[in-house]
Structure 1
């Protein structure tokens, strides 16, 4: 398996307005800080802020204990700017609330542009089913840190 560095993840990254993207970002050292679901509200607030700004349409997301999957349609910003702002603002809020200092998120993120023929709804179902596949809950409705526009 190739060894991807944060630099190689950014190589060739292109932000195309109107295209759906699946973004994944990971908590530093994969610490499961969002096992405390109330702490995840800091991230949820920033996802909603990004949507309200008009830069993205948030199609589906799930905040797992140590990472975030976010399916968006990009509008008026770059992927890097959108994810950087969400990570920065959520980390500041999280740190203020918990008394912690330092970074919350790993510096890089993974993005995958959905092809025109791919089903956005199928991608959204995959995203929100993560807590079920991970065995965190038996029913998706029991997991509080997810949303999708089709619900």
Structure 2
């Protein structure tokens, strides 16, 4: 099985478990892989929505990175289901970004990828993997250089994860 399970249809959601206090690595992709977040203002709106979800007590973010056409988010569920939290993020960010752009229509691809982090897995290792996405994509040369990434812990190139 791959790192992420893609489950776009409701029928496939049967068997997907979301457990309060569990940590999930979540990936959401822009519809048609449009590079919506090349615009820093759009990326900023997505980041504000992630922060608001933490402030509202739905999630506790550990790390995220907003790539040009997708978003990676490492978060602990605090309230509601994983599906609810993802849908709330997508609907709120889509609405606000469409308002900012003066456009309409779906911003996000249906569904999402997720991986429940097992207790023995290193959260810092997952955070480092997420924050290294811009390096692998050629958008940065070192951790911390890409402006649309954040981690609860300081991670640098010498951190073993």
Give me the TM-score of the superposition, normalised by structure 1.
Answer: 0.92
Match of 2:140 in 1: 137
Q: How far 1:36 moved relative to its partner? A: 1.7
Contact between 1:9 and 1:108, CA under 8 Å: does it hold in 2? no
Return the match for 1:36 from 22, 27, 39. Answer: 39
Q: How far 1:5 moved relative to its partner? A: 5.7
State how far apart, in whole Å, the 2-side matches of 1:39 and 1:20 are.
26
Q: How far 1:10 moved relative to its partner? A: 2.4
Greater helix fraction, Structure 1 or Structure 2: 1
Q: How far 1:141 moved relative to its partner? A: 3.1
**What is the alpha-carbon root mean square deviation over aligned residues?**
1.8
Match of 1:6 in 2: 8
Give me the TM-score of the superposition, normalised by structure 2.
Answer: 0.87
Q: How far 1:76 moved relative to its partner? A: 1.3
Q: How far 1:134 moved relative to its partner? A: 0.5
Match of 1:79 in 2: 82
After TM superposition, the structure 1 = structure 2 runs for residues 114-125 of structure 1, keeping only pairs within 5 Å, are 114-125=117-128
Match of 2:28 in 1: 25
Distance verdict in 2 for CA 1:137–1:149, change over 3 Å: same
State how far apart, in whole Å, the 2-side matches of 1:82 and 1:36 are.
24
Alignment of 1:98 onto 2:115: no
Tell me the SS of whatever aligns to 2:83: helix
Q: How far 1:110 moved relative to its partner? A: 1.1
Unaligned runs of 5+ in 2: 155-161
Count matched residues. 150
Match of 2:58 in 1: 55
Unaligned runs of 5+ in 1: none
